[in-house]
Every structure is written in C-alpha cells, then in structure tokens.
Amino acid sequence: MSGTLRTAGLFVLLMLLFTGIGWAIGGYFFQDWVFGAIVFLSLAAVMNIISYFLSDRIVLWSYRAQLVEEKDVPQLYRVVRRVATLSNLPMPRVALIPSMTPNAFATGRNPRKAVVAVTKGIFNLLTEPELEGVISHEMAHIKNRDILVMSVAATLAGAIAFMARIFWWSALFGRRGQGNVVILLIVAITAPLAAILIQLAVSRSREYKADAVGARTIGRPLVLARALEKLESANRRRPIDRGNPASSSLFIVNPFRGSALTKLFSTHPPLESRIKRLRKLARELGQF
C-alpha cells in the first residue's frame, strides 16, 4: 500500500506541475490559460500511463539490458533463485547490462513482474557470497514494493529533464525576446522540480531498509558491506557510460560521476553510514 500511495502521489504531483506550466505558457503565448492547462494536463496523463505500464521496459532499454536465460548465466540464476526462495518471493526475470562498470538494480510493476538486472562487470569484482548480498538488497526492494515507485520516478524525472533541455535549446536558437525569457524561466523551474520529484519518491530510508532486509535475509550483513565497499570504489574509478542521472536511484550504488547534476538527483545515503548500520546489525546477530 505504501508503494501504491507513493506512486499515486507522484502522478498527482506531475499533473499539478504540468497543469501549472501549461497555464503559464497558454496565458503568455496564446492568451488562453485554459487551453494551455488542458494541453499540458493531457500530456501529463499520457506520461503517467506510459510510466506506469512501461517504466520497467524504458529503464531496461535505456541501459541496453537484455533478458537472459539460465543457460546464459547459471551462476547468477543460482544466486537469484536462492535469494528469492529465502525472501519468499517468486523468481524474478533476470537481465544483463552490457557494461563493465559493476552495479545492479531491480525494476518492475510488482513482485510477479519484477526484473533483477546486473552489469557484466559485477562478475569480475564480487565473489559469489558478495553477489548474493547485492541480490538480497535488490530482492528487498522488490519485497518492500519499492520497484514500481523507483522506476516510475526515474522515468518521469527523466522525461521532465528531457523537456527542460528542449525548452533550453529552443530558447538558445529561437527568436530573441521576452518569449525566450519565459522559456528559460520554465527551464529554471522544471529541472529542480524533477530532482525534487526523485527526492520525494525515493527517500534514503528506502536504501537503509533494503540493506537491512537483504542482510537479514541471507544472514550475513558484513558480506553485503564488503560488496558495497567494492562497488562504490569501482564506480568512482569507472562510472557508467550511458543512462540518465535521474535513474541513479535504481542502482545499489550511484553509477554516475560526481557532477552537480548527479548530486542534485542523488538519493543514496553515504557509504560510511550504510556500512556502519550493517556492522551494527552484524553485532546484533552475534557476528562481531
């Protein structure tokens, strides 16, 4: 229910945001506030429908992730099946991302339609127990019903950021005048709102909870802590070479460079804080 309410809240927020933009543009350029509001409200409705039903496919497509069978990656299937059984969840589909930057994410509309995706590079970095820790974190997102709201938020924020760029280039290469000032104001407003959309949808507490649930599921918090340390270091050295920072919240660690835009969209807690909590959990389980 929590995930459903958060997703509904995202849709309502987008409708209000676009209605306001349409009202401003319609009134300024066409002297018809209602026309602009209706056009942009309709656009928001279409975006909501697309993001709800296709956000997982859009995310997978944006990273060129391909669904794979057990014969293609038997080790990964073995780990995912084991963690799914421990989590009391149906076996998700498995996808492989053709990137040597080690990382992973989960997406989908619900546990029955979930997909766990990992990059090719993760196999060169992690041991099987560490990979199990990563998969347990992603399966925790599925169990906590985070995957829909995370995928929808990433899709909507990416679309808003894309529209903002269109407005920006239109202002740069279009006719000079007051109209350009209005367009630039729209860009200045919508880009930060896209970041706020992400921040509201995917709080850092979601990552802490997924760490804790995943670590308890496999019973080895320190294994997940080691995996996080390795992944964080590897992604700083070699950030992923495609995708949108708006979707960084999907990954177990941030896969993008530390630019101002990336920081704006960041929803990952500090690594030190995540490891500290996992070590505390290990002490509670008598493993320290």
Residue tagged active-site, from 138, 207, 229, 272: 138
Rounded to whole angstroms, the Cα distance separating 270 from 68 reads 32
Q: Catalytic residue at 138?
A: yes
Could you count the other beta carbons within 10 Å of the beta carbon of residue 216?
16
Q: Are 265 and 243 in contact (CB under 8 A)?
A: no
- CB-count exposure of residue 133 (10 Å: 0-12, 13-18, 19+): buried
Considering only CA atoms, which of 202, 158, 192 is closest in space to residue 54?
158
Q: What is the set of active-site residues?
A: 138
